[in-house]
Amino acid sequence: MSLLDELYFYKALGYKYIRPQTRSNLISPSFDELNLQIKYCNLCDLCKTRSNSVLGSGNKDAKIMILGEFPDLDEDKIQKANLPTNLLNLISNLQIPLNQIYYTYILKCTPLKSKHSRKICYNQCLDFFKSELNLIKPNLIVVLGESVFEVLFGDTGYSYDSIRGGIFSYENTNLLATHSPKIAQKSPNLTNEFAIDLIKIKDFL
């Protein structure tokens, strides 16, 4: 099959050609522009199944950025990222001020089961996260879970288990990788590790 025949084949299946975008025109100079880019994004197949894109929430001048993997269906409906209950409770118990937290996801749309290749979608969304990071300039990024860590460090040779709980440099700021809230609920040991990791947030307030 020639390249042209292959393109017509995919077109018949409903795929659309999207003009490649360079990194320079994806990095957004303002939150208003960034939110518009996220809202109308069609860079991957998730645009066909989402109800809405999900925007980050919290203080846009926060010292702490918390980065989850992807929003759930409830967040898809309200178009806003919400801290998981166990994470919210732990932050409150540790007396970490919520007004110093910005919460967002590496993936801006809710994936449906395993229908989509998340790796492709993660790569397309990465520039949105980089724009948030550039606009907020936090003192610390808290990465929730191994999947999110792999999106950021997948080609570097670092393993999640080797750096979880440590503080590392990333994009001119600091990064702390820890368990996802869902994983942290699976055992008392994981819950304890999660809490010990999050205590380190206080050093960056």
Non-local CB neighbours of 87 within 8 Å, separated by 6+ positions? 66, 144, 181
Output the pTM of the full model: 0.84
pLDDT digit string (tens) for 140-164?
A: 999 999 999 999 988 788 899 999 9
| SS3 category, 169 | strand
For residue 91, give the amino acid letter.
I
Q: Is the dihedral of CA 52, 29, 96, 170 positive or negative?
A: positive
Sign for the CA dihedral angle at 28, 31, 32, 35 comes to positive
Contact assessment for residue 205 and residue 142, using Cβ atoms and an 8 Å cutoff: no
Q: Retrieve residue 80's tokens.
A: 């806003």
| Residue 74 to residues 48, 52, 93, Cα–Cα distance (Å) | 18, 10, 25
Report residue 128's pLDDT band, with 50, 70 and 90 as the boundaries: very high
Residue type at 167 in one-letter notation:
I
74: number of Cβ within 10 Å: 10
Which segment of 68-72, 119-123, 142-146, 188-192 scores lowest on mean pLDDT?
119-123
174 pLDDT band (50/70/90 cuts)? very high
Closest of 169, 166, 137 to residue 152, by C-alpha = 169
pLDDT tens digits for range 69-118:
999 999 999 999 999 999 999 999 999 999 999 999 999 998 876 545 67
